[in-house]
Chains A and B, each alone.
Chain A
Amino acid sequence: MTTPAFYRGSGLLFQSDIALTEYTPADASDPDAVIETGERAAKAAADAEPQTWEYDGFQASPLGPVIIVPDVAAYLVTGGNRIDVSPMPGGDPGMVRLYLIGSAIGMLFHQRGQVILHGAAVVQSSGITLFTGPSGAGKSTLAAHLAARGHAVLGDDTLPLDWEKGHAPRAWPGARVFKLCQDAADRLETAGQTRIAESYEKIFVENPCPGPETPVPLSEIVLLERTEATPELTRMNGLEAVAIIARNTYRPEYLRLIGTEGRHFEQIAALSAHVRTYRLARPWDAARMDETLDLLSEHWGAK
């Protein structure tokens, strides 16, 4: 009997027969989650009730919730500890891995009852700063620039929180790579660029500072916004903070799918009391990146 390879990321040990290129290879041990390729997810997708959910790409099946990415793969995520992957015919293996690391593992964390936020997580002296914002807001690019200045970066897409009652929310190191547009990667002049798939415009860039081996507390959340003026950082009030955290929860539609919306709202209300929340208005002109980086250094140095 053979066993697949093991990878560690975001505080979990994965046993997977798909290479998890974002995570760190690990020694064999009792895994927290198992990832297997085969026909099981395809069968679940075929057996699913059509239009079960109002969201594109999700189906409820007798085996559990299935995420269906057309022309890529079907992912059956069950029990918070298992993902079955069935590539679609012709599905690019790079894209199969990409949605596995993102959507499918995101669903897995939701099933485990962990808050998972969307954004890039950078370590500074008092803990993690999570940069959030809509797609294209420059989260990964900002994180990559901060990494170039020596800040550890835990990940540039999602941040699953490991949170025990009575303690501060914290996160484990996750990604060994950033997902950047080619021009952003070229501007950074980074080594270790890896293609994701021929049909995908972003590439993986090696994370120069993947962070400590131990969990780090989450201290602040920063919403990225655009301005043409000088960069400015402003503190949000409590209600705004709850709204921002709710809006930047990773794939909130999954919560309805698995019926944990109520618990999640309680979690983010509690989270807003533990972390400071800011709005960072900054120019998107790459040539003015240093102004933003200097403002953040000043902010973190002042605390």
Chain B
Amino acid sequence: MSAAPEHWPIALRVVCGCLVTEPSEATLELAASMTPAHWHNFNHLACVRHRVAQVVALHVDSLGAPPATVEEIRRETRACTIETLRQGAALRELLARLAEVDVDPVVLKGLPLAEHLYGSAGNRHARDIDILVPPAQIGAAAGVLEALDYRPAPQYRLRGRLVGTRALAEECYDLEFHGGRVSLPIELHWRTSHYAGWPDFTGDEKLTRVQDTSLGPVRVPNDCANLVYLAGHGSMHAWARLKWLADIGRLAHARGEDGLEEDLELSRKLGGEAPLALALRLSHQVLGSPLPVSLATRPSPTTRLEAQMCRVIEAPEIAPGTWRYKLSANIVSLQLADGPAQIMGVLRYALWRRIRLGLAGLVSRFRGRPALQ
């Protein structure tokens, strides 16, 4: 049996069957029954909708994909490898410059995660570079980015003006920069969640490790922290892309059932059990990844949410950036919140953040504060 729900489109089920392990016999049988229209949809799902062309490319030959499909997937993977090489150069330079000002960031997702989970940086799509620094180092890190010709993205101009203020540090969790030597986005984070009071390992060295990557040693979240972080990140995006769920599935395989029990225990202490449990259940349902016994033997409290997420994954298009999408993500987060503090964190992000940032922006303009432009 393919792990993905049987009522899903056949092309989507085949894509799902390639993401965590070698395609099963059932997936190969499904692929063998696909028509040209199915393969056309397969390409769209892998390259555009779910951004998993690189990992799917590893299996297109064994799936017996027609030449046109293989060619399109290969074209997409080449473009992504070029992007990955450029990101590698940018990340290496950025880390070297940050080290000069004693900033040792945690690199989130990106090249280290791709090498750890997929064997090669070229096997996972990455749009940008994400680094995490303690709030006290936001200014130093932003200064380094500015010196490297990065500038706050147009939609983040206000945040750029507020670097160094409490309003920015408390109400937001990131600042996106564009430009630089290789013209790509870099997200500077100082929390691991949008929401205040949600699980965070910023500055906690016990939850990080140094990974030997092809660019040299890089500080990254350890597997457990990564699961908690990626579960929160995926929930925030309503698990709209399989790319994010594939990370969970691969980490779950790497951790095994016993390791996942430990991870759930830690996530409970951090206040992030609900998003992680949801992520593991979804990954199990959709990708066939392991489910720890403690989750498998008790009824899910999030059955409706899981069904909702499955509908989002199955939907032919998503519209990130629209108010409906953002509202949906905040509603999902409210349902996963652990206690009143986390509920307040979501409400504060959704309702109060813009007001406080706007006021802080007026004050900063009034005081003639220098801005990152």
CB contacts (< 8 Å) of A196 on chain B: these are 214
Is B45 part of the contact surface with A, judged by Cβ < 8 Å? no
Q: Is the CB of B214 within 8 A of A18?
A: no
Q: Is the CB of A195 within 8 A of B115?
A: yes
Which of B75, B86, B91 sits near A17, CB closer than 8 Å?
B86
Is B64 part of the contact surface with A, judged by Cβ < 8 Å? no
Q: From known contacts A17-B86, A90-B57, A91-B122, infer whether A97 and B214 are also in contact, taking CB-CB under 8 Å.
A: yes
> What 0/1 pattern do residues 108 to 146 of B give for CB contact below 8 A with A?
000000010001111100000000000000000000000
Interface residues of A in 70-108 (CB under 8 A from B): 85-94, 96-97
CB contacts (< 8 Å) of B92 on chain A: these are 5, 19, 21, 25
Bound-state Cα–Cα, A38 to B82, Å? 7
Interface residues of B in 22-78 (CB under 8 A from A): 54, 57-58, 73-75, 77-78
The stretch that binds A, out of B175-183, B251-259, B291-299, is B175-183
Interface residues of B in 281-334 (CB under 8 A from A): none
Is A194 part of the contact surface with B, judged by Cβ < 8 Å? yes
Q: From known contacts A42-B78, A89-B77, infer whether A19 and B215 are also in contact, taking CB-CB under 8 Å.
A: yes
Interface residues of B in 171-206 (CB under 8 A from A): 179-183
Q: Is the CB of B214 within 8 A of A94?
A: yes
Interface centre among B86, B92, B119, B183 (most CB of A within 10 A): B86
Q: Is the CB of A94 within 8 A of B121?
A: yes
Is A51 part of the contact surface with B, judged by Cβ < 8 Å? no
Could you count the A-B residue pairs with CB atoms below 8 Å apart for me: how many are there?
112
Which of A4, A90, A92, A195 sits near B89, CB closer than 8 Å?
A4
Report the minimal beta-carbon distance from A45 to chain B, rounded to whole angstroms.
12
Q: Is the CB of A17 within 8 A of B96?
A: no
Chain A, interface residues (CB within 8 Å), range: 20 to 34
CB contacts (< 8 Å) of B262 on chain A: these are none
CB contacts (< 8 Å) of B119 on chain A: these are 92, 198
Would you call the interface of chain B mostly helix, strand, loop, or mixed? helix
CB contacts (< 8 Å) of A4 on chain B: these are 86, 89, 181-182
Bound-state Cα–Cα, A5 to B212, Å? 22
Report the minimal beta-carbon distance from A43 to chain B, rounded to whole angstroms.
12
Q: Is the CB of A193 within 8 A of B214?
A: no
CB contacts (< 8 Å) of A94 on chain B: these are 120-121, 214
Interface residues of A in 1-25 (CB under 8 A from B): 2-5, 16-19, 21, 25
Q: Is the CB of B216 within 8 A of A21?
A: yes
CB contacts (< 8 Å) of A237 on chain B: these are none
Is B213 part of the contact surface with A, judged by Cβ < 8 Å? yes
CB contacts (< 8 Å) of B86 on chain A: these are 4, 17-18, 37
Is A136 part of the contact surface with B, judged by Cβ < 8 Å? no
Interface residues of B in 200-242 (CB under 8 A from A): 212-217
Is B362 part of the contact surface with A, judged by Cβ < 8 Å? no
Q: From known contacts A4-B181, A5-B93, A87-B82, infer whether A21 and B215 are also in contact, taking CB-CB under 8 Å.
A: yes
Report the minimal beta-carbon distance from B261 to chain A, rounded to whole angstroms.
28
Is B90 part of the contact surface with A, judged by Cβ < 8 Å? yes
Q: Is the CB of B216 within 8 A of A90?
A: no
Chain A residue at smallest Cβ distance from B218: A194
Q: From known contacts A2-B182, A16-B89, A18-B86, infer whether A195 and B78 are also in contact, taking CB-CB under 8 Å.
A: no
CB contacts (< 8 Å) of A192 on chain B: these are 216-217
Is A236 part of the contact surface with B, judged by Cβ < 8 Å? no
CB contacts (< 8 Å) of A93 on chain B: these are 81, 84-85, 88, 120-122, 214
Q: Is the CB of A87 within 8 A of B214?
A: no
Which of A3, A90, A195 sits near B58, CB closer than 8 Å?
A90
Is A233 part of the contact surface with B, judged by Cβ < 8 Å? no
Is A268 part of the contact surface with B, judged by Cβ < 8 Å? no
Bound-state Cα–Cα, A104 to B122, Å? 20
CB contacts (< 8 Å) of A197 on chain B: these are 120, 214
Is B149 part of the contact surface with A, judged by Cβ < 8 Å? yes
Q: Is the CB of A2 within 8 A of B88?
A: no
Q: Is the CB of A18 within 8 A of B88?
A: yes
CB contacts (< 8 Å) of B90 on chain A: these are 5
CB contacts (< 8 Å) of B88 on chain A: these are 18-19, 93, 97
Report the minimal beta-carbon distance from B144 to chain A, rounded to whole angstroms.
14
Report the minimal beta-carbon distance from A85 to chain B, rounded to whole angstroms.
8
CB contacts (< 8 Å) of B85 on chain A: these are 17-19, 37, 85, 87, 93, 96-97
CB contacts (< 8 Å) of A92 on chain B: these are 119-122
Q: Is the CB of A87 within 8 A of B78?
A: yes
Bound-state Cα–Cα, A114 to B288, Å? 56
Interface centre among A2, A96, A192 (most CB of B within 10 A): A2
Bound-state Cα–Cα, A192 to B215, Å? 11
Bound-state Cα–Cα, A21 to B95, Å? 13
Q: Is the CB of B78 within 8 A of A88?
A: yes
Q: Is the CB of A193 within 8 A of B212?
A: yes
CB contacts (< 8 Å) of B183 on chain A: these are 2
Could you give 7 example pairs across A and B, Cβ below 8 Å? A2-B149, A5-B93, A17-B182, A21-B216, A25-B96, A97-B85, A198-B119
Other A-B pairs, 20, CB within 8 Å; known A19-B89, A90-B54, A93-B81: A2-B182, A2-B183, A4-B86, A16-B89, A18-B88, A21-B92, A21-B216, A25-B92, A25-B93, A25-B96, A37-B85, A38-B82, A85-B85, A89-B75, A91-B81, A92-B121, A93-B120, A97-B85, A195-B115, A195-B213
